[in-house]
């Protein structure tokens, strides 16, 4: 059982890691640390750290397990999780975000070392109200892509450059990324973070999100293996 003793209590400082390139060198957003506290969860104790990254309006929250600066032959597990009020907080079954969030934290806890970035880009970056309006159109038969386009909104407005900046600030140049979305890997690599392994997340599908999963697999480039009887590889 994780007692939380291994959680790093000190606020991180990018200057402690001589091997990581600086933000200025990479031409990526400035990162400033705002706060650190302990966060006991059902997956053990994490270090919760808040950061300001570039022009991102809301702070980015990091849940850290273990000492990320410790030398290790195995790069840490990383999850970039985009905020989803309905899935993460309200337990919505329209998507798989809440289950992915919990599965990611469980995997990081089991590994003993890793980090989840909670990115403030609700509704694949279009915001809560737009997402709810898109849901309303989906209730009338449109799929998730058609609904966004009908509202004059991008299908996916998320960016992972800020996440890359934060990872580099923490000295994480080489990572194992939990995702089935190749776009996340591409953007991280493009911004100086090496994804040496892509770790799939497998959570079960349900009767309400099968169509959403199918759309992501068929039309949005996600590497999903649809198997409704044995679980589904999912991502958002
Ligand atoms: Zn969601």
CATH number at residue 194: 3.40.50.10990
Cα 179 to ligand 1 centroid, rounded to whole Å: 14
Domain limits at 43? 14-121+158-233
pLDDT in tens, 179-190: 988 889 999 999
Provide the annotated active-site residues. Answer: 156, 158
Helix, strand, coil distribution of the chain in percent, nearest 5: 30, 25, 45
139-153 tens-digit pLDDT: 999 998 999 999 999
Distance 157 CA to ligand 1 centre (A): 14
pLDDT higher than threshold 90 for residue 17: no
pLDDT band at 60 (very low <50, low <70, confident <90, very high): very high
- For residue 184, the Cα-to-chain-centroid distance in whole angstroms is 9
Whether 9 is in a domain gets the answer: no
In the reported structure, the alpha carbon of residue 88 is separated from the centroid of ligand 1 by a whole-number distance in angstroms of 7
> Is there a domain that residue 40 lies in?
yes
pTM flag (> 0.85)? no
Tell me, yes or no, whether 138 lies in a domain: no
- Counted domains in the chain: 1
The closest alpha carbon to 69, from 135, 115, 137, belongs to: 115
Report CA(70)–ligand 1 centroid distance (Å): 33
């Amino acid at each position: 059982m994780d007692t939380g003793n291994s959680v790093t209590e000190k606020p991180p400082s990018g200057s402690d890691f001589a091997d990581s390139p600086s933000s200025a060198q990479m031409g990526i957003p400035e990162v400033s640390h705002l706060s650190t506290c302990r966060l006991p969860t059902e997956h053990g104790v994490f270090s919760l750290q808040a950061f300001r990254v570039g022009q991102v309006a809301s702070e980015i929250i990091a849940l850290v397990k273990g000492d990320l600066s410790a030398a290790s032959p195995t790069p840490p597990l990383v999850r970039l999780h985009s905020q989803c009020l309905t899935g993460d907080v309200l337990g919505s079954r329209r998507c798989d975000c809440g289950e992915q969030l919990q599965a990611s934290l469980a995997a990081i806890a089991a590994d003993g070392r890793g980090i989840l970035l909670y990115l403030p880009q609700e509704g694949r970056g279009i915001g809560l109200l737009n997402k709810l309006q898109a849901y309303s159109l989906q209730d009338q038969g449109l799929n998730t892509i058609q609904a966004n386009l009908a509202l004059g909104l991008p299908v996916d407005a998320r960016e992972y450059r800020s996440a890359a900046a934060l990872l580099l600030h923490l000295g994480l140049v080489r990572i194992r990324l939990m995702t089935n979305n190749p776009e996340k890997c591409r953007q991280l690599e493009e911004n100086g973070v090496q994804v040496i392994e892509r770790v799939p997340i497998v959570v079960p599908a349900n009767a309400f999100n099968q169509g959403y999963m199918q759309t992501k697999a068929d039309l949005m480039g996600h590497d999903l293996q649809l198997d409704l009887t044995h679980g589904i590889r999912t991502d958002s």
